[in-house]
Amino acid sequence: MGKICVVGLGYIGLPTAAMFAKSGFEVVGVDINDKAVNLLNQGKIHIEEVGLGQLVKKVVEDGRLKSSLSPEVADCFIIAVPTPNYPDHTANLEYVKSATESLLPYLKKGNVVIVESTIPPRTIDDVVAPIIQAEGWKVGEEIYLAHCPERVLPGKILIELVENTRIVGGINEISAIKAAEVYGSFVTGDIIKTSAVTAEMSKLMENTYRDVNIALANELAKISDKLGINALEVIQLANRHPRVNIHQPGPGVGGHCLAVDPYFIIEKAPEESPLITNARRINNSMPEFVVEHVEKIVGKSGKIAIFGLTYKGNIDDIRESPAMDAVCLLQEKGYELSLYDPHVKQDQVGFTLSTFDEAIDQADLILVLTDHNEFKGLDEVKIHTKMRHSVIFDTKNHVKINSESIKYYNYGNLFKMGKRHIELV
């Protein structure tokens, strides 16, 4: 069926490489992280994703997937490297540029080059294509270039890679057709062909829509706190309307999509995007909002047991996590912190992680910042016996508490906090 070279073995590139290998392609995965490369060649993975470990083990053992620090000659090249923001929130395209340049010695006539990385509008036309053209290739005639953004949910990546609709944006029509044929080898969802710039903007708007919706929910939480209203009940009732779907408030927005992608639009049209800009500002303010309420509960000092560091539940990804921002703010204020996240490894973070028992020992508050399954049902006996004060502030409306003697706060009853939890328990 041919050979595919995937550049970037992160949360998207590695599952993509494994899926193509499962479909019968010979696949080489490329990364600058020698630890990731060595692990993959042993049939192991360096990230957490449901079912991925078993799949990688099988395709490596079958000889269909291997890893390398540099690309190889192939029929199709897929770029799946990160596109972070600079401090001013403009897009850092150095990884995309470097990945494209790394392919140049290996290109041959008829190759398909696909960028899956999320990128600002016109990146394919104005950045990627000129790099290939400078090497003497006629892009769209000799090298077929396209953008096919990923659109998967962590925890369900292997399912959604197959079942989700894929948007394939070619630099010209034949490039879109060629790239669509590649994905047609395993994608059962619709494969929609369009222009590269339309595909770029479509991906950004998918995540911007969600970011703006979450900002609306977070702003509602702030308004409800001020007015003494149960924000969660308001959302539940409003969503009974057949054409309303308000998202849930939380400690902020994280991950390498929602917290990053809207800025790619703002960068290209700042005057025309005030709504998107304000949504980013609102969501970025939520860690501080959380910390303000921690102060209302605990006062100016105390031990806080942080539950969850990842940006969403049941994954190990801490990129752009609002939980990490909240931790930094609490550290700056001098609180004693104990950090518990069963999905995060010690080498991912720069501070000591605790077990559940260590985290709650003599703690004044459990602050839930991530909706891991492990947090749904907590050991209430241990909470009573080990904590100094049995209080939980659940920013994800996730924990189920049965004991009335455990004081439980979420965005439905923030306004009931009072000055200090000691007066309330």
Which sequence positions are flagged as catalytic?
203, 257
Residues 87 and 224: their CA atoms lie apart, in Å, by: 32
Q: Got the DSSP string for 25-88? A: -EEEEE-S-HHHHHHHHTT--SS--TTHHHHHHHHHHTTSEEEESS----SEEEE-----B-TT
Where residue 397 falls (left for φ over 0; alpha for ψ -120 to 50; beta otherwise) is left
Residues 341 and 356: their CA atoms lie apart, in Å, by: 9
Contact at 8 Å (CB) between 392 and 333? no
Contact at 8 Å (CB) between 238 and 249? no
Tokens of 108: 């041959």
Sign of CA dihedral 177, 183, 188, 189: negative
Tokens of 195: 């222009």
Question: Between the CA of residue 66 and those of 11, 26, 95, 211, what are the distances in Å?
Answer: 17, 9, 22, 37
Q: How many CA atoms lie within 13 A of 192 on its CB side?
A: 12
Question: Is beta strand 26-30 parallel, antiparallel or unpaired with respect to 3-7?
Answer: parallel
Residues 6+ apart with CB under 8 A from 129: 139, 145, 171
- Tell me how many degrees the CA angle 306-314-185 measures, rounded to the nearest 5: 155
Q: What is the separation of C-alpha 90 from the centre of its chain, rounded to a whole number of angstroms? A: 18
Residues 199 and 347: their CA atoms lie apart, in Å, by: 36
Residues 6+ apart with CB under 8 A from 30: 5, 6, 7, 8, 9, 67, 68, 69, 70, 71, 102
Question: Between the CA of residue 106 and those of 48, 75, 135, 311, what are the distances in Å?
Answer: 31, 10, 11, 37
Q: Which H or E run contains 16?
A: helix 13-22
Contact at 8 Å (CB) between 179 and 192? no
Question: Is beta strand 76-79 parallel, antiparallel or unpaired with respect to 3-7?
Answer: parallel
